[in-house]
Amino acid sequence: MTRINQTRTRIGIAIRTTGFALGFGIATTLPGHADTASCTVPDIGDRITDAQASALYECLTAAMAAQLEMLESGGTIDGPSWLRSDMPVARAFLGWESVTTAPYESGTHGGRFVVNLADPVALPSYSRFEDGGPMPMGGILAKPSFTVSDDGTAALGPLFLMERAADGTYPDMGDWIYSAIMPDGSVMGPTGGPQNDRVQFCADCHLAIGADTDSMTYLPDEYRVTD
């Protein structure tokens, strides 16, 4: 189990019992009403620490886990959430494995904090990074993203997605299907759809950086799960 997934377990317990504990020793407001806009850390100083970024990410995903329970029981949700989309992956990603020890700032994703996730098809290859070889058809990678304001409050960014298509399906895209779910539930893309041009830059970037790795780009070494 990765460090982030271990923390998710602790947060789930905290929500059910005290509603205020993260296992990081950092006071973070947990979402009392499944509200992603309620996640904040105090005293962020000049930069967000890895522990603070992890606490914020866990708070955001815990909020969406609570939202998912509400939706599955017939309720509705308000406010920013990728679950406002009807794409199945908006729900599925919450159970995927992370290969990231802590959220990190990604210059290729607008300077947002991101976490690298892989679905069960993609995980055996992607978790080995450059040694993993080509991605099997149907494998999906996700990068949940968020920003942090000066007062330490997190705000959802896009949920970036890429799914490996069959060889020859989308040669201009490296045979990947790109899309992004926005915080209001709208979708940018996907590849092959009416908004194909809006995700061409995703393919161009991945083709350039990941020319030798099946268009996959990897996180900095210091943030990789290695066990």
Confidence (pTM): 0.85
pLDDT of residue 18: 26
pLDDT tens-digit readout, 172-222: 999 999 999 999 999 999 999 988 889 998 989 898 888 888 889 899 999
Q: 50-72 vs 3-16: helix axis angle to the nearest 10? A: 60
Tell me the average pLDDT across 70-94. Answer: 94
Tell me the average pLDDT across 104-119. Answer: 93
- The whole-chain average pLDDT of the chain stands at 85
3-state secondary structure of 217: coil
- Report the C-alpha gap between 65 and 51 in whole angstroms: 21
List the structure tokens of 153: 């409050």
Answer for the pair 36, 83: CB distance below 8 angstroms, yes or no.
Answer: no
Domain ranges of the chain: 3-217
